[in-house]
Amino acid sequence: MKNKPKNKQGNSKKVDQLTKVVKDYQEKPLTTNQGLLVNDTNNSLKAGERGSTLLEDFLLREKITNFDHERIPERIVHARGSGAHGFFELYEPIPQYSKAGIFNDTKRKTPVFVRFSTVAGNKGSTDLARDVRGFAVKFYTEEGTWDLVGNNMPIFFIQDAMKFPDLVHSVKPEPNREIPQAASAHDTFYDFVSLTPETLHNQIWLMSDRAIPRSYRMMEGFGIHTFRLINDKGEAHFVKFHWKPLLGVHSVTWDEAVKISGADSDFHRRDLWDAIEAGQYPEWELGVQIVPEKDEHKFEFDLLDPTKLIPEEMVAVQIIGKMTLNKNPENFFAETEQVAFLPGHIVPGIDFTNDPLLQGRLFSYRDTQLSRLGSPNFHQIPINRPIVETHNNQRDAHMQMAIPKGQTAYFPNTLGGGCPHLTKIADGAFEHYEEKIDAKKIRSRSKSFTDYYSQPALFYRSLSKSEQNHVADAYSFELGKCTHPHIQERMLYLIAQIDGPLSKKVADKLGLKVPKTVNKPINQAIGADVTDGRFEPAPKKNYLDQSPALSQANTKFDTVASRQIAVLAANGFSMKNFKAIKSVFGQDGAQLKIVAPHGGNIKCDENMEHPVDAAIMTTESVLFDAIYIPGGEKSIKALLKEGKYIKFINEGLKHCKAIAADGEAERLLKETFVMDHKNDTAIFINGKPAEFKKAVAHHRNWAREDKVKDIPV
Ligand code: HDE
């Protein structure tokens, strides 16, 4: 299925469209909003030098009024995010499934704008919170805009949109004291989730490494809901959308996440920006899992239930195209903040299903843009404009940016020549899939949605040993932050339904026992999404022993592109050693960064000057993927004088990173715990640069993790 196009760069139609409204301020005089030239923007107009300020001062009023209104409401969820432009290319047409132009024309480079985000934190919160990540893609297609508004986890917490405000209120800072920021580790969240067992699947993903990614560029994306693809005969197939990063799926440890939040809370935002500026364009392949309509009821779970995934081992992911992000925004507010994603934005060839979460989202996103962006004309904001022309009879409202011409703003009409006119479906107009519906109006949930335990258990079974340990640690941390034993116990009971030993492990850390049964109030609570008890959880099933695709241990480990390698060096560092490493890493896009005792330049032992990338006082080991120490006697002596280098190396060791050292650098290592782990497969003392490179590509040596627990950093 793969006929991969070459990664051609260049401006997309969307970027060209945006370029027309980009304002360049270089060599331009300062003016008012009305175009008056200004000669003083430092002093207000006063009655006398020390006198009171005059109301007449329209220059002051304009400047201050604009400032007073600079902020718009932040997104109620996904407030903190970063965006980038790019394009999507199709490998091979899929007309048998979809008539969408984007899925049929391999010559197209469909422009996209992508916004990644955390969910719970405020706009100024840390990138490294334990959280789900948003993965929202706006495709500016020739047939109109399609938004695929997904997450980096393939399932969601709840099954019905009706529960969304409760879920969000429980995870957000507690309303009485606005604590904690950007964290799920608190009583109200676990009070809610322990009473709402449908959350368990997403909950365990939240405890996994997926919730602390190394980079936005190293996460998968998922459309989550089952959608429909419609072909030109009007036939439908169910579809789940997947984004697979070409760099693989990688995460940091929780200890790192906590420390990165202090050292650089913009870590993911900076990483995305820097990679694009460096020409290391992030890429994802788009995959589809296709299920024929006739197979809708063939599965052990309901395809309409957004808390379930279709294991890739049951329905393969077919890779159909690739997305490349190749341009940073010109302005954060105008583009990343004002971009408005709506799951309701679809194009002919794509349609919805009756997933009750998706159905609610179809209302929520347009509604939220009205309060966020202030007008139903939000589609006229440059980043939100489709690349095709729009004409309709919605001509007024706040901030109309165009001048709609003519006497008529209604349909049908003769006075406007019948325009804007309708289009036949055969000529490309949107047509809803004709789904047969014969139903009673009912406020309830399908019985087929009551299996809460099978898939979290499948997920946990599919993880590697170290990933499983991380889940246990994360539960222990999060529940350890809860202050009510009855909430902790209710969670332990539910975790035990997923996996007994896991719950026991967590209970030991909490100093509690796993309850064998839950008493009546809890039992009622478990069925309490529905008051009459019809929704007791279904017994756990095992329809697939393991799904290797769910484990990050089975991801790609074949590249060092854009990996950050700290080179610990001072004046007199060994150029020969450094060159050897550079020649192995350089051409593959790894970033070797000199971390020296001071800023400016340092000299190597061949007396050449080298710019320092970071002074040790400004950086931390958690901001790097690996450590290299080139040796050189004078250099090592200088490093030994700075205690922070020892901490830097010990931390790198503890976080299972690849470490290489040559020549005199061994003396520095003797001051660290590295010498106790000389036989570790990712530690290289006077080793081969190519082997070090392989270890860096492998991201982390998780096998080390259990052996370095005693290191006190
Ligand atoms: Fe969202 N969600 N959501 N969500 N969501 C928003 O829309 C909502 C859900 C997702 O970068 C809001 O424009 C409801 C699932 C992303 O701008 C809001 C429900 C998935 C983003 C909203 C869900 C998502 C949002 C807030 C349950 C993954 C950020 C600001 C019915 C498939 C988009 C905004 C961006 C944002 C509502 C559930 C992903 C309030 C009611 C499931 C990536 O409209």
pLDDT grade for 650, boundaries at 50, 70 and 90: very high
- 532 has a pLDDT exceeding 50: no
Q: Pick the atom of ligand 1 nearest to 358's CA.
A: 31
Q: Pick the atom of ligand 1 nearest to 364's CA.
A: 44
Comparing C-alpha atoms, which of 640, 651, 629 is closest to residue 574? 629
Centre of ligand 1 to C-alpha 145, Å, is: 17
The string of DSSP codes covering 435-469 is ------------GGG---SHHHHHHHHHS-HHHHH
pLDDT tens, position by position, 455-469: 999 999 999 999 999
Residue 483, both tokens: 């202050």
Ligand 1 pocket test: which of 149, 170, 345 has the largest number of ligand atoms within 8 Å of its C-beta? 149
Beta strands in 512-662 (DSSP E): 564-568, 591-596, 601-603, 609-611, 614-615, 626-629, 658-661
Question: What integer is the mean pLDDT of 203-227?
Answer: 98
Centre of ligand 1 to C-alpha 282, Å, is: 23
pLDDT grade for 530, boundaries at 50, 70 and 90: very low
Residue 369, both tokens: 């843009």
In whole angstroms, what is the distance from residue 565 CA to residue 648 CA?
13
The 10 Å CB-count burial string (b at 16+, else e) for 504-534 is bbbbeebeeebbeebeeebeeebbebeeeee
Secondary structure of residue 219 in the 3-state scheme: coil
pLDDT grade for 519, boundaries at 50, 70 and 90: low
In whole angstroms, what is the distance from residue 15 CA to residue 327 CA?
9
Secondary structure of residue 120 in the 3-state scheme: coil
Strand partners, 660: 628, 684
From residue 190, how far is each of 32, 469, 614 by CA, in Å?
Answer: 52, 20, 41
Question: What integer is the mean pLDDT of 185-192?
Answer: 97
Q: Is the residue at 595 inside a domain?
A: yes
Q: Does the interface predicted TM-score (ipTM) exceed 0.90?
A: yes
Q: Is the residue at 566 inside a domain?
A: yes
- 605 has a pLDDT exceeding 80: yes
Structural domain boundaries enclosing 669: 557-708
Question: What integer is the mean pLDDT of 568-586?
Answer: 96
pLDDT of residue 531: 43
In whole angstroms, what is the distance from residue 627 CA to residue 695 CA?
11
In whole angstroms, what is the distance from residue 259 CA to residue 454 CA?
35
Where does ligand 1 bind, in terms of residues with CB under 6 Å? 75-78, 81, 115, 117, 134, 136, 149-151, 156, 161, 164, 224, 306, 340-341, 357, 360-361, 364-365, 368
- What angle separates helix 485-498 from helix 500-510, to the nearest 10 degrees? 160
From residue 291, how far is each of 72, 146, 228, 315, 454 by CA, in Å?
Answer: 42, 21, 9, 8, 21
Q: Is the residue at 252 inside a domain?
A: no
Q: Specify the number of domains making up the chain.
A: 1
Mean per-residue pLDDT over the chain, rounded: 95
Q: For the chain, what's the residue count? A: 713
Q: Is the residue at 659 inside a domain?
A: yes
Centre of ligand 1 to C-alpha 149, Å, is: 7
pLDDT grade for 586, boundaries at 50, 70 and 90: confident
Q: Is the residue at 64 inside a domain?
A: no
- 9 has a pLDDT exceeding 90: no
pLDDT of residue 238: 98
For atom 11 of ligand 1, which residue has the closest CA?
Answer: 115
- The residues carrying an active-site annotation are 78, 151
Q: Are 618 and 644 in contact (CB under 8 A)?
A: no
In whole angstroms, what is the distance from residue 548 CA to residue 166 CA?
33
Comparing C-alpha atoms, which of 473, 472, 516, 512 is closest to residue 493? 516
Ligand 1 pocket test: which of 152, 160, 338, 365 has the largest number of ligand atoms within 8 Å of its C-beta? 365
Q: Is the residue at 84 inside a domain?
A: no
pLDDT of residue 4: 43
Contacts 24+ apart (CB under 8 A), 701-710: 701/656, 701/657, 701/658, 702/464, 702/466, 702/553, 702/656, 703/466, 704/653, 704/656, 704/677, 704/680, 705/466, 705/469, 705/656, 706/469, 707/677, 707/680, 708/653, 708/654, 708/656, 708/673, 708/677
Secondary structure of residue 566 in the 3-state scheme: strand
Strand partners, 139: 112, 146
- pLDDT higher for 287 or 534? 287
Q: Is the residue at 673 inside a domain?
A: yes
CATH number at residue 677: 3.40.50.880
Q: Is the residue at 326 inside a domain?
A: no
Instruction: Give the side-chain half-sphere CA count within 13 A for 710.
Output: 6
Q: What percent of the chain has pLDDT over 90?
A: 93
Ligand 1 pocket test: which of 117, 341, 345 has the largest number of ligand atoms within 8 Å of its C-beta? 341
pLDDT tens, position by position, 91-110: 999 999 999 999 999 999 99
